[in-house]
Structure 1
Amino acid sequence: MNPNDLVRFLKKDPAEFTKEDIIHFCEENAIEMVNFRYAAEDGQLKTLNFIISSKEHLDTILSDGERVDGSNLFSFIEAGSSDLYAIPRYRTAFMNPFTEVPTLEILCSFYDNEGKPLESSPEYVLRKANEEFTRQTGAVFKTLGELEYYVISPREDLYPGRDQKGYHTAEPFAKFEDLRNEAMKLIARAGGKIKYGHSEVGCFCNEDTYYEQHEIEFLPVPVEQAVEQIILAKWILRMLGYRYGVDISYAPKITVGKAGSGMHFHMLVEKDGRNLMVEDGKLSSMARKMIAGILDAADAITAFGNCIPTSYLRLVPHQEAPTYICWGDRNRSVVVRVPLGWTCGSDMTRDANPCGYHCAAARPSKQTIEYRVADGSCDPYLTVASLIIASLHGINMPDALKQAEDLYVIGNIFRPEFKDRLDTFRQLPASCFESADVLAARRAIFEENGIFPAGMIDNRIQTLKAFNDKGLSEKLYGNTEAIRELVETYIHVA
Structure 2
Amino acid sequence: MSVQDVLKVIEENSIEYVDFRFVDLSGKAHHITLPATEVEEETFENGVAFDGSSIPGFRGIEESDMVMLPDTESTFIDPFTAHPTLNIMCNIHTPEGDRYDRDPRSIAQKAEEFLQTTGVGTAAFFAPESEFFIFDDVRYESGQQSSFYAVDSEEAAWNTGRKEEGGNLGFKVRQKGGYVPVAPVDTQQDIRSEICNLLADAGLRVERHHHEVATAGQGEINFRFDTLTKTADNLLKYKYIVHNTARQFGKVATFMPKPIFGDNGSGMHVHQSIFDGDTPLFYEKGSYANLSETALHYIGGILHHAPALIALTNPSTNSFKRLVPGYEAPVNLVYSKGNRSAAVRIPVAAVTPKGCRIEFRTPDSTANPYLAFAAMLLAGLDGIKNKIDPRKLGYGPLDKNIYDLSDADKAEIRSVPASLEEALDALEADYEFLLQGDVFSEEFIHNYLSFKRDEAKSVSIRVHPHEYSLYFDC
**TM-score (norm: length of structure 2):** 0.86
Q: CA deviation at 1:93?
A: 1.1
Asked whether 1:175 is paired with 2:164, we answer no
Which residue of structure 1 lines up, in the alignment, with residue 311 of structure 2? 303
Q: 1:104 to 1:477 in 2, by over 3 A?
A: closer
Asked whether 1:43 is paired with 2:32, we answer no
Q: Which moved more, 1:323-332 or 1:381-390?
A: 323-332
Q: Which moved more, 1:62-71 or 1:383-392?
A: 62-71
The one-letter code sitting in structure 2 at the alignment partner of 1:163 is Q
Which among 457, 463, 482 is matched to residue 451 of structure 2? Answer: 463
1:78-477 equivalences under 5 Å are: 78-136=60-118, 137-153=120-136, 154-155=153-154, 157-158=168-169, 159-203=171-215, 211-281=216-286, 282-342=290-350, 365-400=354-389, 402-403=391-392, 406-417=395-406, 419-468=407-456
Q: 1:341 to 1:277 in 2, by over 3 A?
A: farther
Q: CA deviation at 1:408?
A: 2.1
CA contact 2:263–2:327 (8 Å) conserved in 1: no
The one-letter code sitting in structure 1 at the alignment partner of 2:389 is A
SS of residue paired to 2:91:
strand
Quote the sequence identity (%).
28
The one-letter code sitting in structure 2 at the alignment partner of 1:147 is S
Q: Which moved more, 1:454-463 or 1:155-164?
A: 155-164
CA contact 2:317–2:459 (8 Å) conserved in 1: no
SS of residue paired to 1:108:
strand
Gaps of 5+ in 1: 1-16, 204-210, 344-362, 483-494
CA contact 2:177–2:213 (8 Å) conserved in 1: yes
The one-letter code sitting in structure 2 at the alignment partner of 1:242 is R
SS of residue paired to 2:402:
coil
Q: CA deviation at 1:103?
A: 1.5
The one-letter code sitting in structure 2 at the alignment partner of 1:336 is V
SS of residue paired to 1:142:
strand
Counterpart Cα distance in 1 of 2:291 and 2:253: 37
Counterpart Cα distance in 1 of 2:411 and 2:426: 19
Query: What is the CA RMSD across the aligned residues, in angstroms?
Result: 2.4
The one-letter code sitting in structure 1 at the alignment partner of 2:132 is Y
**TM-score (norm: length of structure 1):** 0.83
Counterpart Cα distance in 1 of 2:294 and 2:393: 11
CA contact 1:192–1:229 (8 Å) conserved in 2: yes
Q: 1:399 to 1:380 in 2, by over 3 A?
A: closer
Counterpart Cα distance in 2 of 1:230 and 1:468: 25
Which residue of structure 2 lines up, in the alignment, with residue 67 of structure 1? 49
Q: 1:480 to 1:46 in 2, by over 3 A?
A: farther
Counterpart Cα distance in 1 of 2:350 and 2:185: 31
Counterpart Cα distance in 2 of 1:371 and 1:258: 21
SS of residue paired to 2:270:
strand
Q: 1:478 to 1:324 in 2, by over 3 A?
A: farther
The one-letter code sitting in structure 2 at the alignment partner of 1:230 is L
